[in-house]
DNA sequence: GTCGGAATAT
DNA sequence: CATATTCCGA
């Protein structure tokens, strides 16, 4: 209703189309601001008095995402009134005045930001951040209808893990210094440009404000990479973050969180507390702050002057290839195509902070070993040719940014994979996630469910998603069908109906085994061989869901 | 010097 | 075992 998948997809250029309520008595000023906002494809509704604006809000007919309200000496009352009344709406105050007390009052009344005029484009461009922030923080309480899509959109994006690694060191908010800061700002009357746009309510860990609370402990301590060689070392692989966020949103299947991406730091000094075992029997509790604080946690100042610690502190940290990490790895590999899956690129695609090329190389080595094991000999045929210049790569060099463009191809898989690692309790600490607890017969024997087909989503082969009876993924409407689709992907109509509707295990087993063990053969599903994976790539790029409905 | 990849070490 | 480190050829 409020926000379907299509809606989300439709809002892929997210900030655009943001509905901005502009309240400014000065028509010239209003026009100016308006035009700037419109240049960035925001939709602006201008009002010159608070009553009109408020009634527009209450009339439901229009929903706004954010408000920009001008305050001046003569009408400050009206501005405040608006501010107090429209609490649901993230409201940015703006003024020519430099009055600290006014600014303070605005903030106190709930303004999300105070911007001094003139409002340059830089300042206006990022106002959407307030919208997102609000959408997240409103959690249980008031989340106005207009913000829901925003939130879901963001959640969705975060689930894609397109950038979860992005947010690092928590901004040091020094809240208590607010006033001094403002005051200073006060001084540089013209230099205001130095601060870039809105002071951005850092989406930071995204979930932070919710219940995970101590997510920040994952933030790495890259700030102190004293001994040069460290750089790779001070790792905190925080793939968890994205998921935490996901978890936080009740929407998302709560049950699952099988990732414990921890980098266990093996402190030579052996602080005893073998963090490695920290997993405890309750995986879902695993993210307890204590773990992180001891392991990947940021040493902060405390550790800096820790005299005793010999600072060997973070030395050899072992990368724990959790389901999450592994999933990223797989995605990267599949995206690159087997031929091009080399450590550096994989690393790049995984975008996991702290992970080194060596780590990846090592894992890749294992990957290949297992894979080779599956395909005893033949894989030489379709493998390597080292110099192969042929790139079908739609290797997207995706810049890391706070809100990257939507990539549909990541959407479904992510969700699916996500749902599949469910069963938090079922694999305690050491159990390999790819040796899933309860897979039916069609799983390759050795448990390494690597995806032999570059163009194909590993989720189909590599990560069987068995929709639990009522399971964790139930909240994703498409996940169930997605599962089938994933298997039947691209085949158009190759599969017997029974496959989808009543999966006969023998059939599945046979098909899968054959496909896996003989990749050089035409796929039984009617798939083209990997040589046409550009096609597959395209399909997958569009999301598995585009596959024909399971009945045909 | 880089890198990827295999061998070897932990 | 899984991962890290080392070694070696390109």
Q: Give A72-109 pLDDT, tens digit per residue.
A: 888 889 999 999 999 888 999 999 888 888 999 999 99
A448 touches strand C (CB under 7 A): no
What integer is the mean pLDDT of A9-14? 60
- Buried b / exposed e across A349-368, counting CB within 10 Å, b at 16+? bbbbbbbbbebbeebbeebe
Calpha distance A52→A250 (Å, rounded) = 36
- Give the model's pLDDT for residue A70: 93
Residue A392 pLDDT: 36
pLDDT attached to residue A430: 36
Query: Average pLDDT, stretch A389-405?
Result: 34
What's the predicted TM-score (pTM) here?
A: 0.33
* Each residue's pLDDT tens digit, A478-500: 333 333 333 333 333 333 333 33
Q: Report how far residue A264's alpha carbon sits from residue A361's, in angstroms, rounded to the nearest whole number.
A: 19
Check whether residue A186 has its CB closer than 7 Å to nucleic acid strand B: no
pLDDT band at A324 (very low <50, low <70, confident <90, very high): confident
Which nucleotides of chain B have an atom under 7 angstroms from any protein CB? Answer: 3-7
Give the pLDDT of residue A380. Answer: 40
CB A375 within 8 A of CB A519: yes
Q: How far apart are CA A425 and CA A258, in angstroms?
A: 8
Q: How far is the CA of A232 from the C1' of C5 (A)?
A: 14
Name which of A139, A170, A144, A171 is nearest A155 in CA terms.
Answer: A139
Integer distance in angstroms from CA A551 to C1' B4?
45
Q: How far is the CA of A336 from the C1' of B4 (A)?
A: 16
Is any atom of nucleic acid chain C found less than 7 Å from the CB of residue A319? yes
pLDDT band at residue A15 using 50, 70 and 90 as cut-offs = confident
> In this predicted structure, what is the pLDDT of residue A106?
92
Residue nearest to nucleotide C5 (CA to C1'): A358
Q: Which residues of chain A (420-439) touch nucleic strand C at CB < 7 A?
A: 432
Per-residue pLDDT band for A37 (boundaries 50, 70, 90) equals very high
Q: Mean of the per-residue pLDDT values for chain A?
A: 56
Q: CA of A263 and C1' of C8: distance in angstroms?
A: 29
Which nucleotide shows the minimum CA-to-C1' distance to residue A233? C4
pLDDT at site A138: 63
User: Which tens digits make up the pLDDT trace of A139-185?
Assistant: 544 556 666 666 666 666 555 444 444 444 433 333 344 444 444 44
Q: How far apart are CA A359 and CA A509, in angstroms?
A: 33
- CA A231 / C1′ B8 distance in Å: 25
From residue A358, alpha-carbon distances to A12, A209, A288, A322, A346 in Å are 35, 35, 29, 17, 11
Query: From the alpha carbon of A432, which nucleotide's C1' atom is closest?
Result: C2
Q: Which nucleotide is nearest to A360 (CA to C1')?
A: C3
pLDDT (average), residues A514-535: 42
Q: Could you tell me where the DSSP H helices lie in A469-504?
A: 477-488, 497-501
pLDDT in the model for residue A153 = 66
Distance measured from the CA of protein residue A341 to the C1' of nucleotide B2, in angstroms = 18
Across all strands, nucleotide nearest A369 (CA–C1'): B6
DSSP structure class, residue A198: S
pLDDT at A136 over 90: no
A71: pLDDT confidence band, cut at 50, 70 and 90? very high
Return d(Cα A15, Cα A10) in angstroms, integer.
12
Chain C: nucleotides below 7 Å from protein CB are 2-6
| A45 three-class SS | strand
Question: Residues 326-365 of A near strand B (Cβ < 7 Å)?
Answer: 342-345, 357, 361-362, 364-365
Share of chain A above pLDDT 70, in %: 32
**Residue A361: partners with Cβ closer than 8 Å, 6 or more residues away:** A343
Spacing of A423 CA from C3 C1' in Å: 25
Q: In the predicted model, is pLDDT for residue A328 greater than 60?
A: yes
pLDDT per position as a tens digit, A262-298: 444 444 443 433 333 333 344 333 333 333 333 333 3
Q: State the average pLDDT over residues A201-230.
A: 38
A248 CB-near residues (< 8 Å, 6+ apart):
A206, A207, A210, A211, A212
Strand B close to A366 by CB, under 7 A: no
Write out pLDDT tens, residues A330-364: 888 888 887 788 888 888 888 787 788 888 888 88
pLDDT, mean of residues A201-222: 38
The reported pLDDT for the residue numbered A331 is 82
Question: Distance between alpha carbon A83 and the CA centroid of its chain, in Å?
Answer: 32
DSSP H helix total and E strand total for chain A? 22, 7
**pLDDT for res A92:** 94
Nucleotide C7 C1' to residue A228 CA (A): 23
C-alpha to C-alpha distance for A56 and A96, rounded to whole angstroms: 26
Residue of A317 and A308 predicted with greater confidence = A317
**C1’ B5 / CA A352, Å:** 22
List, in sequence order, every beta strand (DSSP E) within A149-248.
none
Q: Is there contact between A321 and strand C, defined as CB under 7 Å from any strand atom?
A: yes
Residue A213, pLDDT > 70, answer: no
């Amino acid at each position: 209703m409020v926000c379907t998948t299509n809606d989300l997809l439709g809002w892929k250029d997210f900030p655009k189309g943001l509905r901005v309520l502009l309240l400014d008595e000065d028509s010239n000023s209003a026009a100016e601001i308006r035009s700037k906002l419109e240049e960035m494809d925001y939709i602006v509704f201008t009002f010159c008095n608070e009553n009109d604006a408020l009634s527009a809000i209450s009339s439901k007919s229009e929903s706004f995402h954010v408000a920009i309200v001008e305050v001046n000496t003569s009408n400050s009352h009206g501005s405040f009134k608006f501010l107090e009344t429209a609490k649901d709406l993230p409201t940015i105050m703006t003024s020519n005045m430099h009055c600290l007390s006014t600014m303070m009052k605005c903030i106190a009344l709930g303004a999300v930001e105070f911007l001094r005029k003139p409002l340059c484009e830089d300042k206006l461009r990022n106002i959407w951040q307030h919208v997102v922030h609000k959408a997240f923080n409103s959690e249980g309480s008031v989340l106005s209808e207009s913000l829901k899509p925003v939130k879901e959109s963001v959640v969705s994006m975060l689930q894609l893990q397109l950038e979860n690694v992005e947010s690092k060191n928590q901004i040091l908010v020094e809240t208590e210094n607010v006033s001094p800061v403002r005051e200073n700002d006060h001084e540089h009357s013209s230099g205001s440009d130095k601060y870039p746009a809105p002071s951005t309510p850092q989406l930071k860990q995204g979930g932070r404000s919710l219940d995970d609370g101590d997510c920040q402990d994952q933030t790495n301590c890259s700030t102190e990479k004293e001994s040069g060689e460290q750089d790779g070392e001070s790792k905190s692989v925080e793939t968890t973050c994205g998921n935490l966020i996901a978890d936080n949103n009740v929407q998302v299947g709560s049950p699952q969180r099988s990732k414990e991406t921890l980098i266990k730091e093996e402190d030579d000094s052996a602080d005893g507390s073998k963090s490695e075992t920290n997993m405890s029997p309750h995986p879902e509790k695993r993210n307890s702050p204590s773990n992180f604080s001891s392991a990947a946690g940021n040493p902060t100042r405390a550790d800096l002057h820790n005299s005793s610690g010999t600072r060997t502190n973070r030395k050899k940290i072992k990368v724990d290839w959790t389901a999450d990490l592994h999933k990223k790895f797989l995605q990267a590999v599949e995206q690159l195509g087997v031929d091009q899956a080399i450590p550096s690129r994989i690393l790049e695609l995984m975008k996991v902070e702290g992970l080194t090329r060596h780590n990846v190389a090592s894992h890749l080595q294992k990957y290949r070993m297992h894979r080779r094991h599956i395909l005893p000999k033949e894989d030489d045929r379709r493998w390597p040719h080292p110099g192969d210049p042929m790139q079908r790569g739609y290797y997207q060099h995706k810049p890391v940014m706070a809100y990257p463009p939507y990539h549909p191809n990541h959407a479904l898989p992510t969700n699916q994979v996500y749902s599949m690692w469910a069963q938090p309790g079922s694999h305690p600490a050491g159990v390999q996630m790819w040796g899933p607890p309860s897979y039916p017969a069609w799983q390759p024997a050795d448990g390494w469910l690597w995806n032999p087909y570059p163009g194909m989503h590993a989720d189909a082969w590599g990560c069987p998603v068995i929709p639990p009876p009522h399971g964790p993924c139930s909240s994703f409407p498409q996940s169930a069908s997605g599962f089938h689709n994933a298997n039947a992907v691209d085949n158009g109509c190759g599969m017997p109906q029974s496959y989808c509707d009543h999966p006969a295990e023998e059939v599945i087993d046979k098909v899968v085994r054959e496909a896996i063990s003989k990749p050089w053969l035409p796929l039984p599903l009617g798939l083209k061989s990997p040589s046409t994976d550009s096609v597959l790539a395209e399909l997958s790029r569009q999301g598995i869901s585009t596959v024909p409905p399971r009945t045909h």
